[in-house]
Amino acid sequence: MQKLQDIVEPLLIWYQINKRELPWRKDKEPYHVWISEIMLQQTRIEAVKSYYTRFMRELPTIEKLASVNEEKLLKLWEGLGYYSRARNLNKAAKMIMEKYDGKMPTTYEQLLHLPGVGEYTAGAIASICYNEKVTAVDGNVLRVISRVIGSKEDVLLLETKRKIEQKLRDIMPTQSGDFNEALMELGECICFPNGAPTCDKCPMNKMCIAYQKNLIEDIPVRIKKLKRKNETKTVLVMITSEEKIAIEKRINQGLLSGLYQLPNAEGDLNENEIKELLKDWGLSVKRISYLKKAKHIFTHVDWEMDCYLVEVESENGKFMWVTKEELVKKYPLPTAFQKVIK
């Protein structure tokens, strides 16, 4: 424990010198930190910057977020994926308006009651904004600490996470927000998950067991148990002579629930099978052209997509028919289908 305590001072000094300038770090406004932390789940920082700026321009306050309609919210979120995060933001904002008079809760325990706010996010907000001495342990922090202490315990296990949280609570300084951010920053900029970390630039390399014993490639240990599922789909870009494109809304459950999609079918259909499908849908085909293969990777499933451009005689009532401009500006289309449109 004394060895781990020794990381605190050099880590805080390193952070003050090297921390990146990020839009949500301009102040410690809890609303800004909350939105950024939710966006950063499963998404790289560089990708989030433009989304964050646009989101704040459109929804600068909790009150605005609470009152936004779902379609606009999902359009603002388009491309970030994991759309339940956006819906939970809206639910949480409504709760804050009703229960906390429009102001963010100020303690870790209160924050945990907000929809979509888990232990890590609550810890990040509570420590960064209110300097509460709580941990914020994500994958970056698990990797950094596992390497420092030379742990070969599986970081995918909750038991391992709990042990590391306790170790960090025992050494947590009064500058808890800076300490938590410093660990995250180190994991993102120095102690990489893939490829060679830049250990020579790390302020903790003299204390890091994995570095000293040449165990960087062996730690952290991750024993994956989930098997990925592969699905094959035929995706159709159906367009009329007036250049209206067919879309439809997905059901409100499961993967990509409530978002819009291009018409598609399970399996790898040939042109004759596509024509039969379109006939069942009440559409007359002028021409079918093969576009390309596309792939999209979700958390537990991969989509392999064969994509076709289908020119039809006219619209029908089964689908919504929108212009390209409407599709871009109004309707939230998941990244999987954006790949096809592009």
Three-state SS letters, the chain = CHHHHCCHHHHHHHHHHHCCCCHHHCCCCHHHHHHHHHHHCCCCHHHHHHHHHHHHHHCCCHHHHHHCCHHHHHHHHCCCCCCHHHHHHHHHHHHHHHHCCCCCCCCHHHHCCCCCCCHHHHHHHHHHHHCCCCCCCCHHHHHHHHHHHCCCCECCCHHHHHHHHHHHHHHCCCCHHHHHHHHHHHHHHCCCCCCCCCHHHCCCCCCCHHHHCCCCCCCCECCCCCCCEEEEEEEEEEECCCCCEEEEECCCCCCCCCCEECCEEECCCCHHHHHHHHHHCCCCEEEEEEEEEEEEECCCEEEEEEEEEEEECCCCCCCEEECHHHHHHCCCCCHHHHHHHC
Please identify every stretch of the chain with a pLDDT value under 50, giving residue numbers as ranges: none
pLDDT digits (tens, 9 = 90+) for 152-177: 999 999 999 999 999 999 999 999 99
**Strand 229-239 with 264-266, pairing:** antiparallel
pLDDT of residue 81: 83
Instruction: Yes or no: say if 213 and 42 are a contact pair by the CB < 8 Å rule.
Output: no
CATH number for position 96: 1.10.340.30
pLDDT of residue 225: 67
In a domain, 218, yes or no: no
Residues 99 and 247 in one domain: no
Residues 278 and 197 in one domain: no
Give the Cα separation of 138 and 12 in Å (integer).
18
pLDDT digits (tens, 9 = 90+) for 68-103: 999 999 999 988 888 889 999 999 999 999 999 999
Give the Cα separation of 254 and 234 in Å (integer).
19
Residues 300 and 201 in one domain: no
**Strand 229-239 with 301-312, pairing:** parallel
Mean pLDDT of the chain: 92
User: Annotated catalytic residue: which of 9, 21, 29, 37?
Assistant: 37
pLDDT of residue 82: 83
Two tokens at 103?
A: 């102001």
Distance of CA 160 to the CA centre of its chain: 23
In a domain, 217, yes or no: no
Name the domain boundary from 212, 240, 263. 212
Residues 169 and 76 in one domain: yes
Instruction: Yes or no: say if 169 and 141 are a contact pair by the CB < 8 Å rule.
Output: no
Name the CA dihedral angle for 45, 43, 47, 64, rounded to a multiple of 10 degrees. -90
Residues 25 and 165 in one domain: yes
Residues 158 and 287 in one domain: no
Give the Cα separation of 43 and 185 in Å (integer).
15
pLDDT of residue 2: 61
pLDDT of residue 226: 59
- Residue 37 annotated in active site: yes
* Domain count across the chain: 2
Phi and psi, residue 187, nearest 5°: -65, -30
- Nearest alpha carbon to residue 178 among 3, 13, 7: 13
Residues 78 and 179 in one domain: yes
Residues 39 and 184 in one domain: yes
Give the Cα separation of 26 and 131 in Å (integer).
17
Q: Using the Cα atoms of residue 8, residue 10, residue 11 and residue 15 in order, give the sign of their dihedral.
A: positive
Give the Cα separation of 327 and 35 in Å (integer).
25
pLDDT of residue 1: 55
In a domain, 224, yes or no: no
Instruction: Identify any residues that bridge with 308 across adjacent strands, giving them in sequence order.
Output: 236, 290
Domain, as residue range, for 90: 2-212
Name the domain boundary from 165, 186, 212. 212
